[in-house]
Amino acid sequence: MEFWDLAEYRVEPHKPEILDSSEEGRAVLVNLPAGEEMGDHQVRERATVVVILGRLEIETPQGQSASAGPGSMVVFEPSERHSVKALEDSRFLLLLAPWSLDEHSSVQRWSRETG
């Protein structure tokens, strides 16, 4: 087991920290100062953003937007374009996962049983 306290972990602005990386995916901790933005971009994997501290404005070119604070989670499909702006000093966990839910029957079964 590995453990990180994401609220206290030291990560410098503009220097995302890869906390874990494997074939199954990556976990990246990002520190984005207030007013700064990760402009319109995309990643080829499925991307999940989990806000740890602060507040982010997340938008897609299709006009979808979310004001996301601590505890919020936003998921993007592979190659889905989006932008992320820090409304205040923010820290978020970016999870990049190349596999799809359809490929994992045990996860599907658990989702059906608990959903």
Determine, yes or no, domain membership for 62: yes
Residues linked to residue 46 through DSSP beta bridges, in sequence order: 97
Which domain covers residue 65, as residue numbers? 17-114
Determine, yes or no, domain membership for 5: no
Determine, yes or no, domain membership for 4: no
Determine, yes or no, domain membership for 9: no
Contact predicate 27/93, CB 8 Å: yes
Torsion, Cα of 16, 90, 94, 70 (10° steps)? 150
Higher pLDDT, 107 or 9: 9
Left (φ > 0), alpha (ψ -120 to 50) or beta: where does 25 sit? left
Determine, yes or no, domain membership for 2: no
Total number of domains in the chain: 1
Determine, yes or no, domain membership for 10: no
Q: Look at residue 4 in the predicted model and tell me its pLDDT.
A: 95
* Domain containing residue 43: CATH number: 2.60.120.10
Kindly report, residue by residue over 50-99, the tens digit of the pLDDT.
999 999 999 988 888 899 999 999 998 888 888 899 999 999 999 998 85
Cα Rg of the chain (Å, integer) = 15
Higher pLDDT, 40 or 27: 27
Does 105 score more than 60 pLDDT? no
Determine, yes or no, domain membership for 85: yes
Higher pLDDT, 45 or 70: 70
Kindly report, residue by residue over 16-32, the tens digit of the pLDDT.
999 999 888 999 999 99
Contact predicate 54/70, CB 8 Å: yes
Determine, yes or no, domain membership for 87: yes
